[in-house]
Copies of this chain bind each other. A is one copy, B any other.
């Protein structure tokens, strides 16, 4: 398998698992403020024009925002249930809010907001995540307008620097590691599963 093939392999996995309701759920690992590892499930939204960049959404009030501002290193673990493949994608995360400098990224932020379900948009209008639940607090049912993101809606991009692709089907399993060098060239190799 040639070095640049992790994106086509990932595209193929997305296609072959497209009927599965959880095919776009990935686990995002970060470093917490105390240096502890943290992991939570996030929804893959789309790719960026840069083929090695993946887009997710998060709430500016969420704990992972402070974690990622302190240390942008992250790894996602993406398991595809139908084809039984795992992609581990390590890279750097950037958070894109309404004041981001790059107009192209601000536009992607708008587009991702617009593409959210009503239910997903509604949650950005809820009380601050992780704070004590007040039984009297209001959790609105009505979704915010889909044309303009709320200020606490952040686009979260992961720019890959290394990809570990494990295919559990096959006898034996197969595994490939792809890494980017300082010149931005990908090299890949097959390794023992």
Q: A residues bordering B, Cβ < 8 Å?
A: 21-22, 25, 27-31, 35-41, 73-77, 79, 81, 86, 88, 90, 123, 126-133, 137, 139, 141, 171-175, 177, 189-193
Contact = CB atoms under 8 A, between A and B. Distances in A.
Given A27-B79, A39-B39, A133-B191, 7 more contacts: A27-B39, A27-B77, A31-B35, A37-B74, A130-B177, A132-B189, A133-B174
Given A27-B27, A137-B192, A39 B77 contact: yes
17 contacts: A22-B81, A29-B37, A36-B75, A36-B90, A37-B37, A37-B75, A38-B90, A39-B39, A39-B75, A126-B172, A126-B193, A128-B192, A130-B175, A130-B191, A132-B191, A133-B174, A139-B172
Contacts of A139: 171-172
* Centre residue among A39, A175, A192 by max chain B CB count within 10 A: A39
Given A127-B192, A192-B131, A37 B31 contact: yes
Contacts of A137: 192
Dominant SS among interface residues on chain A: strand
A126 B90 contact: no
A190 B134 CA distance: 9
Nearest to A139: B172
A193 B122 CA distance: 12
A93 to B, nearest CB: 10
A133 B77 contact: no
Nearest to A28: B39
Contact of A190 (B37, B73, B132, B141): B132
A189 B143 CA distance: 28
A130 to B, nearest CB: 5
